[in-house]
Amino acid sequence: MSSESEKFATPRVAAGVLFRDDRDRVLLVKPTYKDGWEIPGGYVEQGESPLAAALREVREELGASLEVGELLVLDWAPHPAEGDKLLIIFSGRHLTDAEVAALDLKTSEISEARFFDVDQLGELMPDRLARRVAEAARRHTAAYLEHGHVV
């Protein structure tokens, strides 16, 4: 007989940060370990808050301690192969091209960081991620999504 708590969801949680430039392009990073581009971020570790994970991942991937702001998106996006997921995007500040050029990328994990127009996202990342990041880029207030779509 199963316990009552076995009914509760135990999703994987990931947190990322949306940094922009003065033209409202989005900063994406190119991971060395998989195809495509992403925003800086990653999975939340046990006992870690999503905000703490976002700050840690930015430090690890970009080699800089950059401010992380308000919640932009909370996306319920279960993956067929990976199970339940809660994916969070926080706002980051505007960065200049010079600041991005000065980043100390973690070369074992990230090979490049560049700004892209929001309309290019679908060419650079999986559809579900492109929808989530594009929605976050349009937001000035927080939104709840399911599979990248506003509910």
Q: CA torsion sign, 97 to 98 to 99 to 105?
A: positive
The helix/strand/coil state of 91 is strand
Residue 43 placed within a domain: yes
Residue 15 belongs to a domain: yes
Whether the CB-CB separation of 57 and 40 falls below 8 Å is answered with: yes
The two tokens of residue 65 are 């301690």
CATH of the domain at 25: 3.90.79.10
What pLDDT is stored for residue 106 in this prediction?
A: 75
Domain that holds residue 49: 9-150
Q: For the chain, what is the domain count?
A: 1
> Cα–Cα distance between 113 and 62 in angstroms, integer?
8
Residue 4 covered by a domain: no
- Let me know the angle formed at the C-alpha of 77 by 118 and 85, rounded to the nearest 5 degrees: 120
Spell out, as residue ranges, where the chain has pLDDT lower than 70. Answer: 1-2
Tokens of 50: 């999503």
Please report the pLDDT score of residue 2 as a whole number: 66
Residue 1 located in a structural domain: no
Give the pLDDT of residue 97. 84
End-to-end CA distance of the chain: 36
Let me know if residue 19 belongs to a domain: yes
